[in-house]
Structure 1
Amino acid sequence: MEYLSRYLSTNKAMSLICCVFWIFSPAEGDIISEVAGSRVSMHCNNNSINTLQQLTWKLNEVTLISFKPPNETYVNEKANSLNINMFKSESQLYALIIESLQKSHIGNYTCDTATETGTWKQTWELIVITEHKEAENWNKLVIIVIITCTCCLIFIFALAILRRVYNPCARNSSQAPTAEMEETEDIYENCLETNRSRQHRHCQPHHYKPRAY
């Protein structure tokens, strides 16, 4: 039972550590937060963009614009309805442009590029900020802080439990030889006292009385 409790306590501590690391780990891709009505641009930062063979912009995995140099371009109807355009210039990194940000533009944007050196992918999460949204973000921030503090407290509590579990075991292991040594010393002293008493009895002179005739 003692080893089982140690094992369970260790597993709990490891789970808490993973939870803390998951909370503090960065999310995949970049997050863009802009006020409604503002102009938003996203750039494909590819070091080999000068050897571009094909570039595709997607919104929630739906193709918006596909471009093959020098002039072959495909534009989806959704891109036209959302008023989304793209710079067909290497100097502008083939940026995707949203002229007036609206709630309909919220989503995950992807830039897929194929060059002579390979394929590349970049992602963005676009968020529209409004007064109501700012309040929601503040509430989320408070919740995240509370969860983080709670996880830290649980982690500290688990470490304290582990220390309490392992310390008595260490004490028992250190005290056991001491108890055995004390018991051995007691036995040795008892043997010495027994031998001394025997020698004393053996060496004690006997007084003989003369017989009467």
Structure 2
Amino acid sequence: MEDFSKYLGINWTFFLTCCMFWIFSPAEGNNISREVGSPAILHCNIISNSTLNQLTWKMNTVLIFSFRPKESLHKSEEAKRLNINMSESRPYALVIERVQKSHEGNYTCEISTVLGVDECKWELKITEEAVPGNLNKLMIVAAVVVPCVCCLILILALIILYRCHKQHAENCSRTSEMQPEEVIYENCLENDVIRQQHGYIQPLPFTRSRRGGVQY
């Protein structure tokens, strides 16, 4: 039971560490969030030493750009409608001057070479313009809620450990109370066996009668 309590304590410590890491960890590198009206640049982070055959950009599986060496860049009607361009200073990067809700989605840069095909994925999320008052309220709520949740988890872990320790102590006390009775019972059995082996017979008790005789 003691080993189980230690194991449970280690698991709860690991769980709390993971929770704290998840709460305060930054977002993944291929996820990008922008406010409405702000610019966004999506890089094609693929390094290849082989000869480029073709490069394509897709938005939600819809082709928006296609490029081949020594050929002109193909720009789809969807890219024109959304006003999405490819950067000349940053190789193969998508540039959106002022993002809107319609730009939200999954973007994939796919490069084809003689060695095979490689791709880079982005997820673009568009948020509304933040109001200073609402932003401050959200920060205050987050600052209050996160510590409270962590404290509740810690309290639950301590309660479980306390109950396990208490149950272990009760089991130990019950075991210590039962041991003397078992020892006394075993000693009585051993004495009976020894008496039988030596042929010892316990004399019958006798009493003296009122008339002066001995009565068995």
Tell me, in whole angstroms, the C-alpha distance in 2 between the residues paired with 1:66 and 1:136: 42
Tell me, in whole angstroms, the C-alpha distance in 2 between the residues paired with 1:188 and 1:96: 88
Question: Could you say which residue in structure 2 is the equivalent of 1:118?
Answer: 117
Contact 2:110/2:118 (CA < 8 Å) preserved in 1? yes
Q: Report the TM-score, using the length of structure 1 for normalisation.
A: 0.59
Question: Could you say which residue in structure 1 is the equivalent of 2:69?
Answer: 69
Contact 1:105/1:126 (CA < 8 Å) preserved in 2? no
The one-letter amino acid paired with 1:31 is: I
Q: Taking structure 1 as reference, are residues 51 and 121 closer, same or farther at Cα in structure 2, changes over 3 Å only? A: same
Contact 2:36/2:100 (CA < 8 Å) preserved in 1? no
Q: Report the TM-score, using the length of structure 2 for normalisation.
A: 0.59
The one-letter amino acid paired with 1:45 is: N
Question: Could you say which residue in structure 2 is the equivalent of 1:30?
Answer: 31
Q: Taking structure 1 as reference, are residues 135 and 31 closer, same or farther at Cα in structure 2, changes over 3 Å only? A: farther
Size of the aligned set, in residue pairs, is: 177
The answer for unaligned runs of 5 or more in structure 2 is 189-202, 204-216
Which residue among 142, 149, 164 is the counterpart of 1:151? 149
Structure with greater helix percent? 1
The one-letter amino acid paired with 1:44 is: C
Tell me, in whole angstroms, the C-alpha distance in 1 between the residues paired with 2:137 and 2:60: 26
The one-letter amino acid paired with 1:65 is: F
| CA apart distance, 1:84 | 1.4
Tell me, in whole angstroms, the C-alpha distance in 2 between the residues paired with 1:154 and 1:49: 53
Question: Could you say which residue in structure 1 is the equivalent of 2:100?
Answer: 103
Q: Taking structure 1 as reference, are residues 131 and 75 closer, same or farther at Cα in structure 2, changes over 3 Å only? A: same
Contact 1:31/1:124 (CA < 8 Å) preserved in 2? yes
| CA apart distance, 1:146 | 4.4
Question: Could you say which residue in structure 1 is the equivalent of 2:82?
Answer: 82
The answer for unaligned runs of 5 or more in structure 1 is 1-5, 191-201, 203-213
Q: Taking structure 1 as reference, are residues 117 and 26 closer, same or farther at Cα in structure 2, changes over 3 Å only? A: farther
Q: Taking structure 1 as reference, are residues 142 and 118 closer, same or farther at Cα in structure 2, changes over 3 Å only? A: farther
